[in-house]
Structure 1
Amino acid sequence: MAEHRIILFRGMNTGGVRAPVAEQRAMAAEMGLGNPRTLVASGNLVVESDAPTTDLEGAVEQAMEARFGLKIAAMVRTPEQWRALMKTNPFPDEAKADPSRLLMMVMKDGIAEGAVEALRGFAVDGEKVEAAGCALWLWHPEGIGQSKMADKAQPRLTGMGTARNWNTVRKLAEMTEAGDR
């Protein structure tokens, strides 16, 4: 029986990178991935597959380029990997207080050396950043809209990754538990 896989696309529906969610689900089905489901229009896809995560990352990236003409990074995690990441949250009080302002940045190949220290140099108004569980955790108490730290959290500084707020992180976990939500 196939297991769930959480697929995150970096930069989906930002800066002109567009792939309609219905088309993402259709692409996944055409790839033979079971029960494709999306969560909001920002690059979150849950499927069923037995493929190893790194193999699935490559296959999904190739399919995105073939179908949409997009060279876009995909990060794939099993539900067990996802829950393990969630448990490393260094900001549980902040997550409870305002989950939309806590971001978990899932990294493709690890965190770049010096990323945490560099991001801390841009932090203002109580912003915080920590590395835990192969993810960067960013707290933006005033929101990310005007945050210089959020703006600088780009691959050239952090390594390749994509961030989701704590609400989305929890909903993706729920999708892997509920099956057909």
Structure 2
Amino acid sequence: MIHRIILFRGMNTGGVRAPVGEQRAMAEAMGLKNPRTLAASGNLVVESGKAAAALEADIEAAMEKTFGLKVAAMVRTPDQWARLIAANPFPKEAAAHPAKVVAMVMKEGIRPGGLEAAQALARNGERVEAVDDVLFFWFPDGQGQSEIFKKATPRMLGMGTGRNWNTVLKLADMVGLEA
């Protein structure tokens, strides 16, 4: 049994809601150990020996059965999370303004041309970089003001879910990583 970080796309935003207590109960009913949530932000940490792809499929099916929600889940191990943290191309920005750096974890990789399309939308010092299956964003004026945030859809980038750097570090702490 090892920790698994489960990220839900679009959870508790845009009207897609599942109470975190009920998410933990669902995870327990699935046989997952020590389920913990991080606020109401679409993050679940569990212990499981199941492979990531199988766990993703099981979690997505359980979310649909339990809550009637068809949401994408992305599962990462602590090692994968540590590599994500180490790969951040914006470490100075993350240290100074962690809410303005976002790591978007992609379900099946970045769509061809997606990085370039997002970079073309960048304005006012915004930056976008890709490392493996993660897109990293620097939003100096915040996400709400960004054309990237407004226009970069799954059709452009591929299916993914973003977490600001504060959340990335809190999830690392939940699985015992020194970030």
TM bracket (short chain): over 0.9
| CA deviation profile, 1:133-167 (whole Å, cap 9, x unmatched) | 31000110000112110122221110000000011
Cross-structure match for 2:96: 97
The one-letter amino acid paired with 1:169 is V
Gaps of 5+ in 2: none
Kept after mapping to 2: 8 A contact 1:85/1:134: no
Distance 2:2 2:166 in 1: 23
Kept after mapping to 2: 8 A contact 1:33/1:47: yes
Cross-structure match for 1:54: 53
> Post-superposition shift, 1:172?
0.3
> Post-superposition shift, 1:56?
0.2
Kept after mapping to 2: 8 A contact 1:101/1:143: yes
The one-letter amino acid paired with 2:16 is V
> Post-superposition shift, 1:127?
0.5
Kept after mapping to 2: 8 A contact 1:75/1:106: yes
Distance 1:30 1:166 in 2: 31
Question: TM-score when scaled to structure 2?
Answer: 0.96
The one-letter amino acid paired with 1:142 is D
Gaps of 5+ in 1: none
Runs of 4+ in 1 over 2 A off after TM superposition: none
Distance 1:129 1:40 in 2: 27
Distance 1:98 1:21 in 2: 27
Distance 1:165 1:140 in 2: 10
Distance 2:157 2:172 in 1: 24
> Post-superposition shift, 1:85?
1.3
Kept after mapping to 2: 8 A contact 1:88/1:133: no
Kept after mapping to 2: 8 A contact 1:8/1:43: yes
Distance 2:38 2:143 in 1: 20
Cross-structure match for 2:65: 66
Cross-structure match for 2:8: 9
Distance 2:94 2:103 in 1: 11
Report the secondary structure of 1:142's partner residue.
coil
Matched length: 177
> Post-superposition shift, 1:102?
0.2
1:1-181 alignment runs, 5 A limit: 2-177=1-176
